[in-house]
Amino acid sequence: MKKELKGQIIESISAQLNQYPNFYITDIAGLNAGQTSRLRRECFNEGVQLTVVKNTLFAHVLKGVEGEVTTLADTLVGNTAIMYTNTPAAPAKLIQKLQREGFQKPVVKGAFVQDCVFIGEDKLAQLAAIKTREELIGDIISLLQSPMRNIVSALENASEGKAEDEKIGAAKPADAPVAEAVEAAPAE
């Protein structure tokens, strides 16, 4: 491969890393044409970009990146495909779905998700459980609304209880003349 072509590929990979904040390093070796086509289709449907890369070129890109992402260079062994995404858990959920359907690959070698490094296939469940920003905001709003709902519910129950007390109180005056008659009767 010519040096100019390598430079273009490195620039392309760097641009993808800048465009997508999260990426997974996977092994898709051994998939047949039908499985590879299905994987690419599923990736497209989930908004995940799948790119097969040469390990040395991707390692060169990782060296140019600041932070702990450089520790992922150790995972670049064998065939490597990168799954770029804006949604942190999408590739992990996709891989789990394919594994439930009997796919042996892709296998997660490592991932860089929400500024954290994950290394190994054993982190797949942890990666799939990561919530998106929108899901976290929804959870926070739900937590903030919960005490307010409790207060509103208590006030509604109190007003219903007061209405029942008024109904009972309204029924007592009808019984009151009998009580007055008993009190007015002379004692023997």
Closest Cα partner for 79 from 29, 9, 23, 24? 29
Tell me: the pLDDT tens digits for 136-162?
Answer: 888 888 888 878 778 888 888 877 766
Domain that holds residue 157: 131-188
Domain count, the chain: 2
Is the pLDDT at 187 greater than 70? The verdict is no
Residue 92: which CATH number?
3.30.70.1730
> Does 103 share its domain with 149?
no
**What does the pLDDT look like over 69-120, one tens digit per residue?**
777 888 888 888 999 999 888 899 999 999 898 888 889 998 988 888 888 8
Higher pLDDT, 160 or 47: 47
For residue 15, which of 55, 51, 56, 67 has the smallest C-alpha distance?
A: 51
Q: How far apart are CA 130 and CA 144, in angstroms?
A: 21
For residues 158 and 67, what is the distance between their CA atoms, to the nearest angstrom? 57
On whether both 11 and 104 belong to a single domain, the answer is yes
User: 167: pLDDT confidence band, cut at 50, 70 and 90?
Assistant: low
Looking at the fold, whether 29 and 105 belong to one and the same domain comes out as: yes
